[in-house]
Amino acid sequence: MAPAIRRLRVAVSGLGRMGARHANHFLHRTPKAELVAAFTPAENELAWAKENLEPWGVKIYTNFEDMLKHEGLEAVCVATVTTVHAEQTIKAIEAGKHVLCEKPLSTKLDVVHQVLETAKRNPHVKVMCGFSRRFDASYVNAYNLTLKGDIGRPTILRSQTCDKYDPSGFFVAYAEFSGGIFVDCNIHDIDLALWYFSAETKGKTLPRVKSVMAVGVTALEPDLAKHGDVDNGVGVVEFHSGQIAYFYSSRMNAPGQHDMTEIIGTKGKLTVNANPTTGLLESHISSGIHRDIPQNYYERFEQAFVEEASQFTDAVLDNREVPIDLESSMEAVKIGVALQDSLRNGKKIFFDQQGNKIDENRSKL
Amino acid sequence: MAPAIRRLRVAVSGLGRMGARHANHFLHRTPKAELVAAFTPAENELAWAKENLEPWGVKIYTNFEDMLKHEGLEAVCVATVTTVHAEQTIKAIEAGKHVLCEKPLSTKLDVVHQVLETAKRNPHVKVMCGFSRRFDASYVNAYNLTLKGDIGRPTILRSQTCDKYDPSGFFVAYAEFSGGIFVDCNIHDIDLALWYFSAETKGKTLPRVKSVMAVGVTALEPDLAKHGDVDNGVGVVEFHSGQIAYFYSSRMNAPGQHDMTEIIGTKGKLTVNANPTTGLLESHISSGIHRDIPQNYYERFEQAFVEEASQFTDAVLDNREVPIDLESSMEAVKIGVALQDSLRNGKKIFFDQQGNKIDENRSKL
Amino acid sequence: MAPAIRRLRVAVSGLGRMGARHANHFLHRTPKAELVAAFTPAENELAWAKENLEPWGVKIYTNFEDMLKHEGLEAVCVATVTTVHAEQTIKAIEAGKHVLCEKPLSTKLDVVHQVLETAKRNPHVKVMCGFSRRFDASYVNAYNLTLKGDIGRPTILRSQTCDKYDPSGFFVAYAEFSGGIFVDCNIHDIDLALWYFSAETKGKTLPRVKSVMAVGVTALEPDLAKHGDVDNGVGVVEFHSGQIAYFYSSRMNAPGQHDMTEIIGTKGKLTVNANPTTGLLESHISSGIHRDIPQNYYERFEQAFVEEASQFTDAVLDNREVPIDLESSMEAVKIGVALQDSLRNGKKIFFDQQGNKIDENRSKL
Amino acid sequence: MAPAIRRLRVAVSGLGRMGARHANHFLHRTPKAELVAAFTPAENELAWAKENLEPWGVKIYTNFEDMLKHEGLEAVCVATVTTVHAEQTIKAIEAGKHVLCEKPLSTKLDVVHQVLETAKRNPHVKVMCGFSRRFDASYVNAYNLTLKGDIGRPTILRSQTCDKYDPSGFFVAYAEFSGGIFVDCNIHDIDLALWYFSAETKGKTLPRVKSVMAVGVTALEPDLAKHGDVDNGVGVVEFHSGQIAYFYSSRMNAPGQHDMTEIIGTKGKLTVNANPTTGLLESHISSGIHRDIPQNYYERFEQAFVEEASQFTDAVLDNREVPIDLESSMEAVKIGVALQDSLRNGKKIFFDQQGNKIDENRSKL
């Protein structure tokens, strides 16, 4: 029998490492979505698509605009390189397609602003930036406990994004376009701060940034300095709401990927991934007790990406709000960019209650 | 475009708690399989199927034989009550359908034997008993490390299956048909012993049981004694190969499901799930540090069941051996039944090298 | 000023590895005790004593009887080789000295019985067998939670004593006198079972053994078979009270010493040392996350031995009951010997309610 | 016999909570030390001393100068309120007594400087500030692994001091004299940064501070603002050596005391107390898996204090350098005070290579 179920017709733009995963998620792991098209301009990605997508009935495009015209297409997952995230998102919105865009929308605040404006002009179109951690079961549990009041008022948030060291030097070249470590890595942590700190208003009101300060070092890759970047960064963000988030990011974590977060409230603390592990296996051997940890963010967050695809799909099909507000995603970029600025100029940066930068330092207590 | 991919056409028999899950796995989470039919005689399961399966094009049957005749059907997943596992498996085999059958094939050894004989007479049909733990990533990692020799010769195996206490008394009534705690719960642990202990021959040769001994108590449910069963059992199995497995099963684990295994070799030990947890969240609150654990085996093994469906599907499509040998599954039932016998008659039971029971006790060292 | 405090005048007999530690504990870490004398017949131990004890005012003896006559001596800590534990304990009791004797009193049940009889004839003398785990903070916390009823009725106890593998073969020679693995290693686990299972009567009534069964293998040291011993043993003990203890002991634990215990009650479970570690340090390095564990029982239980010395001293000074009852220590030997017998003859052994062996197997449920 | 051993004759000044503990450590747990005198002006402490110290032959003084004249006195442990640490330390040094002083020497940098000058003028006298964590086994192990090069160059250090919330409001009043949370709590973390970051020179050269920045909130105790203090503080310290330390301190940790440290190097990371626990006990009960953590710093660091007393004693007796350099302790106060300043004035504070504050902000990369 032919299925009577209505499924969302989705295209994926970009079939690089993460794009290919998104394509697989929509194709095989999101029952209510149907992957109908995919776009890539890259030769090797095209070959992959012909082998892995085409046989399942997915139409492959080498031109983004053509793909947008695919008959019946309803939504696009933008997973290209960061530099074209915004452009494609805007085009898709203007073509009336719902958009799930990989983070960040852009490393430039004014560009993010354009996306936001475009989205506002097209209110029937749903646009979401894919902050995958918000779909991770442990983070969701932590959020629900926070909403329930188990930890009192969330006051301090510590969060880190630490990648396994990649000796190929890939991330040095990458730093030219990544926006820097605070925009590329800690953007997730910043998003989490906005999420948990706005829990007291059930997400209605974002906390307003009061100051940011960042420092960093190039411990293993001095060439990062050319791009105003570091391989280890520490940042601190104060909010006017009396809440503080502090972040660490690193490109040199030895055993693998270690992202972790503490949400510290007036009555308790929740930790997510304080004890990283790939599973439930431990080895007791002559050199001691050992366990492995995930080697990259996908090993850690695979299930979250699948859940993200599913929740985006459901929100569109049911015409409900998408789970992550665009304003919040813009605020995350704003804070990330400010941290990177602080790293580069060595200064603490202040903001007033309206979110405008203040030129002069001010006394605090 | 219509998919050009060849997918295995599967039916699920039985849509109770586990059957419905299998149906979902084949329908939504096994890309290379296509759920084409399902059978259930139960009113409430039928209603569920009409809502959740039929809209996806799955044909629902209330007669097992009719389902077997579904056009193009290639394989059946038997997930009915244990008492009809064997009967349906035999019918499906004789109809030329590949079978994935929930464990155990039967609680009666002679019935298991019939299944095995039927399978042997139909060598073109693939038959596998679903010991889900063999598809769990942590158990698989442990097996691969064992194969690699990381722990030397696997010599001792400790394994437990502990269910969260169910105050409804369900498992007392259930004990009438379950075959008893060693056949119902520890069958998984026994299967693991056979798996890891045969790693030295890469699975070619099963270790041969030498003796079994079991004891138990009815700590919370004295009525279990009516069925010759207990709510806490301890069993020890010696093999002629100089290997020992010891087991614990319980129906009264307070925080939830806690299955765990230690594979102890001459050079090291591997533990699976020594530290149960539902995820990566810990709460630091006034009463201490806390974490939750899975509430049932599906919370623990969901991904393993999905993997099981996938590997079964691949084995059939590629005409390869199924990952779990039927002989081994029969041996697991044999040992489980012997443990339950030992529990009931209070005696240690001995077997010779050919697997026959020995009447008299023998000296050991 | 001269101290006005009354301190117990103690002698230590035997200055081998453990004796030297006891001497140090009484000399430096038991404020209310005063180490006044020590005995050793061994040349190397004597040299150690002259360097480490004599300068602190401790009189060294090479004759046990002479030491017993040391002026003002009140108590003796017997820490010689196991084979003379009982003889010295009896002599000390008869000389009116309080005795703290290393476990076990003897590997022979009739000899233990003689100690008990001697103690009964000298009720003013306090005699305690040093089961050090009873003084470990974690075990004590577990006991107090059990007394409070946090886990309901303690029903199942699992306990293991696993030594780091010693490739010198020491324990093969040692097996000639150790009484075997169940008497030497699991005696501690047996003692714990008696302790926790009698918690429901606040220690007034010992549970009575109903059956014992043990099996084992010689995985690394086949020569152990000469002494009727193994390097890996599994034992199960049923009590007439509807409680079951099961034990594991090993001489081949790769990373170090791993003793652990689970006390499983009708409402919950307490684990002691499920996650062994030497401290609070973890290494995150390229091969994963690692931690070390204690290399021997003293690294694990050092503080418990100090506490044992202190509580023994206080009990004598305050004329209170010593914390461990001699009857219980005798029962532990009895069960250990029975397990070793079962290991050797391959049989399950039964006891009636009065503690007498039953010749024939009996039906159980 | 009278002991022939030479023991260090020590007095303790101050018998408050920590002073009483020091007295006990020198009296009962430091074999090579002899507690000969103690000083306290407080009535209740005097009563405690008469009951607990006098019977052991310790002479009690109510006048500090008198105590200094106690015949044969060689060393003083200063454990009075922070405000008189420096004064007593200076007097003791000038009287030719070796000094172990509780941290911090003072909350005022110029006062610390006076102590240092006094010590320099009396080079035969040994003076050490008691940073207890340096004597904790886990921290010591981490230091030794760092020295060995296991983690490459230590580059980032994260460290926190989190106290259990004390609803009595004690720490609000205490804030008047404590110097603030960065001087009172994070001083330990700062000391650890100096210790681990100087490991590359085997402690010969202290890293030089480049900038400090701190923020904080009064989440539970708004009255702290009166003293320019907070109950949650975050601070970041850059060093000219290309190393960064970042700190967190809190007065509201729900389950108890949680101090933890990460030493992050170019090749790996060491964590100390990432998983706080009081021992080796876990409870598996209906609400999940639970464990307790220490309730205060003494529960966490008791053994480290004992070790501190012992190493100080040995250094004096053997005429070796004390394990912690006074310059380093002064630097810790300097950084703590700067962090507290930054918290109060909201500014990032910069230092040149000579350690002098720089007025203007400077560009960084």
| D6-15 pLDDT tens trace | 999 999 999 9
Mark residue D270 as left, alpha or beta (left: phi above 0; alpha: psi -120 to 50; beta: remaining): beta
Q: Which of D286, D287, D293 sits opposite B289 (nearest CB)?
A: D293
**Sign for the pseudo-dihedral over CA of A264, A269, A275, A277:** negative
pLDDT tens-digit profile of A67-86?
Answer: 999 999 999 999 999 999 99
Q: Which of D285, D289, D292 sits opposite B291 (nearest CB)?
A: D289
Task: Report the pLDDT value the prediction gives residue C1, as an integer from 0 to 100.
Answer: 56
Q: Which of B2, B142, B282 sits opposite A274 (nearest CB)?
A: B282
For CATH 3.30.360.10, the residue range(s) in chain A are 137-298+330-362
pLDDT tens-digit profile of D263-285?
Answer: 999 999 999 999 999 999 999 99
pLDDT tens-digit profile of B85-133?
Answer: 999 999 999 999 999 999 999 999 999 999 999 999 999 999 999 999 9
Task: Report the pLDDT value the prediction gives residue B364, as an integer from 0 to 100.
Answer: 42
Mean pLDDT, range A171-183, rounded to an integer: 90
pLDDT tens-digit profile of D25-81?
Answer: 999 999 999 999 999 999 999 999 999 999 999 999 999 999 999 999 999 999 999
Mean pLDDT for all residues in chain C = 95
Q: Which residues of B touch A281 (CB under 8 A)?
A: 138, 141-142, 270-272
Q: Is the CB of B274 inside 8 Å of chain D's CB atoms?
A: no
Residue D92's Cβ-count burial label (10 Å; 0-12, 13-18, 19+) is: buried
C-alpha B116/C-alpha B130 separation (Å) is 15
**Sign for the pseudo-dihedral over CA of B111, B117, B122, B124:** positive
pLDDT at D363 over 80: no
How many Cβ pairs closer than 8 A exist between chain A and D? 122
Task: Report the pLDDT value the prediction gives residue A66, as an integer from 0 to 100.
Answer: 98
Q: Are D68 and D9 in contact (CB under 8 A)?
A: no
Task: Report the pLDDT value the prediction gives residue C363, as an integer from 0 to 100.
Answer: 43
Nearest CA-CA distance, residue A135 and chain B, Å = 13
H or E element, residue B215: strand B209-217
Task: Report the pLDDT value the prediction gives residue B350, as an integer from 0 to 100.
Answer: 97
C-alpha D313/C-alpha D307 separation (Å) is 10
pLDDT tens-digit profile of C110-128?
Answer: 999 999 999 999 999 999 9
Task: Report the pLDDT value the prediction gives residue D348, as an integer from 0 to 100.
Answer: 97
Q: How many CB atoms lie within 10 A of CB B112?
A: 25
* B286·D254 Cβ contact <8 A: yes
Nearest CA-CA distance, residue B345 and chain C, Å = 5
C-alpha C300/C-alpha C135 separation (Å) is 12
Nearest CA-CA distance, residue C296 and chain D, Å = 16
pLDDT tens-digit profile of B201-210?
Answer: 998 999 999 9
pLDDT at C166 over 80: yes
Alpha helices, DSSP H, located in C219-347: 297-317, 326-345
Q: Which residues of C touch B238 (CB under 8 A)?
A: 215
pLDDT at B3 over 80: no
Q: Is the CB of D292 inside 8 Å of chain B's CB atoms?
A: yes
Mean pLDDT, range D87-115, rounded to an integer: 96
Among B residues 11-30, those touching chain A with beta carbons less than 8 Å apart? 27-29
pLDDT at C3 over 90: no
pLDDT tens-digit profile of C305-339?
Answer: 999 999 999 999 999 999 999 999 999 999 999 99
Rg (CA), chain A: 21
Q: Is the CB of B193 inside 8 Å of chain C's CB atoms?
A: no
* Confidence band, pLDDT 50/70/90 cuts, at residue C359: confident
Would you call C303 helix, strand, or coil by DSSP? helix
pLDDT at D2 over 70: no
DSSP A121-188: H-TTS-EEEE-GGGGSHHHHHHHHHHHHTTTSSEEEEEEEEEEEP-TT-HHHHHHHHH--HHHHTTHH
* D232·A346 Cβ contact <8 A: no
C-alpha C78/C-alpha C75 separation (Å) is 10
Residue C52's Cβ-count burial label (10 Å; 0-12, 13-18, 19+) is: middle
Task: Report the pLDDT value the prediction gives residue C171, as an integer from 0 to 100.
Answer: 84
Q: Is the CB of D287 inside 8 Å of chain A's CB atoms?
A: no
Tokens of C228: 């009727």
* Confidence band, pLDDT 50/70/90 cuts, at residue B2: low
* Confidence band, pLDDT 50/70/90 cuts, at residue C228: very high
**Sign for the pseudo-dihedral over CA of C169, C173, C177, C179:** positive
- For domain D137-298+330-362, the question of CATH label 3.30.360.10 is answered with yes
Q: CA dihedral defined by A85, A91, A96, A101, rounded to 10 degrees?
A: 0
Q: What percent of chain A has pLDDT over 90?
A: 93
Contacts of B250 (CB under 8 A, 6+ apart): B160, B161, B162, B163, B231, B232, B233, C156, C264
Q: What's the topology of domain A8-129? A: Rossmann fold (3.40.50)
* Confidence band, pLDDT 50/70/90 cuts, at residue D1: low
Q: Is the CB of A320 inside 8 Å of chain C's CB atoms?
A: no
Rg (CA), chain D: 21
Q: Which of C289, C291, C292, C295 to mutate to test the interface with A (most CBs of A within 10 A)?
A: C289
For CATH 3.40.50.720, the residue range(s) in chain D are 8-129
DSSP D63-110: -HHHHHTSTT--EEEE-S-HHHHHHHHHHHHHTT-EEEEESPS-SSHH
pLDDT tens-digit profile of D106-129?
Answer: 999 999 999 999 999 999 999 999
* Confidence band, pLDDT 50/70/90 cuts, at residue A52: very high
Among D47-51, D172-176, D209-213, which is the least confidently predicted range?
D172-176
Q: Are B242 and A261 in contact (CB under 8 A)?
A: no
Q: Is the CB of C41 inside 8 Å of chain A's CB atoms?
A: no
Candidates A233, A232, A256, A235; CA nearest to A245 is: A235
Task: Report the pLDDT value the prediction gives residue B360, as an integer from 0 to 100.
Answer: 58
* Confidence band, pLDDT 50/70/90 cuts, at residue A113: very high
Mean pLDDT, range C55-81, rounded to an integer: 97
Nearest CA in chain A to B7: A56
Task: Report the pLDDT value the prediction gives residue B1, as an integer from 0 to 100.
Answer: 56
* Confidence band, pLDDT 50/70/90 cuts, at residue D364: very low
Q: Which of C141, C278, C284 sits opposite D269 (nearest CB)?
A: C284
Candidates B307, B335, B331, B310; CA nearest to B140 is: B307
- The secondary structure of residue D243, as a DSSP letter, is E
Q: Is the CB of A357 inside 8 Å of chain B's CB atoms?
A: no
Q: Which residues of C touch B348 (CB under 8 A)?
A: 213, 346-348
Q: Is the CB of B57 inside 8 Å of chain A's CB atoms?
A: yes
Mean pLDDT, range D208-217, rounded to an integer: 98
* Confidence band, pLDDT 50/70/90 cuts, at residue A360: low
pLDDT tens-digit profile of A239-287?
Answer: 999 999 999 999 999 999 999 999 999 999 999 999 999 999 999 999 9
**Sign for the pseudo-dihedral over CA of B218, B223, B226, B229:** negative
Q: Which residues of A touch C292 (CB under 8 A)?
A: 288-289
* A287·C255 Cβ contact <8 A: yes
Q: Which residues of A touch C276 (CB under 8 A)?
A: 289
Mean pLDDT, range B295-312, rounded to an integer: 97
Q: How many CA atoms lie within 13 A of A293 on its CB side?
A: 26
Q: Which of A3, A55, A285 sits opposite B3 (nearest CB)?
A: A55
Mean pLDDT, range B271-297, rounded to an integer: 96
Mean pLDDT, range D200-218, rounded to an integer: 96
Nearest CA in chain C to A278: C288
Q: Is the peptide bond before A207 cis (omega within 30 degrees of 0)?
A: no
* Confidence band, pLDDT 50/70/90 cuts, at residue C78: very high
Task: Report the pLDDT value the prediction gives residue B363, as an integer from 0 to 100.
Answer: 43
Q: Which of D248, D254, D275 sits opposite A275 (nearest CB)?
A: D275
Cα-based distances in Å from A215 to B260, D237, D243 = 45, 9, 10
DSSP B271-312: EESSS--SSSEEEEETTEEEE---SSHHHHHHHHHHHHHHHH
Does the predicted interface ipTM exceed a cut of 0.85? yes
Mean pLDDT for all residues in chain A = 95
Q: Is the CB of B140 inside 8 Å of chain A's CB atoms?
A: no
pLDDT at D192 over 80: yes
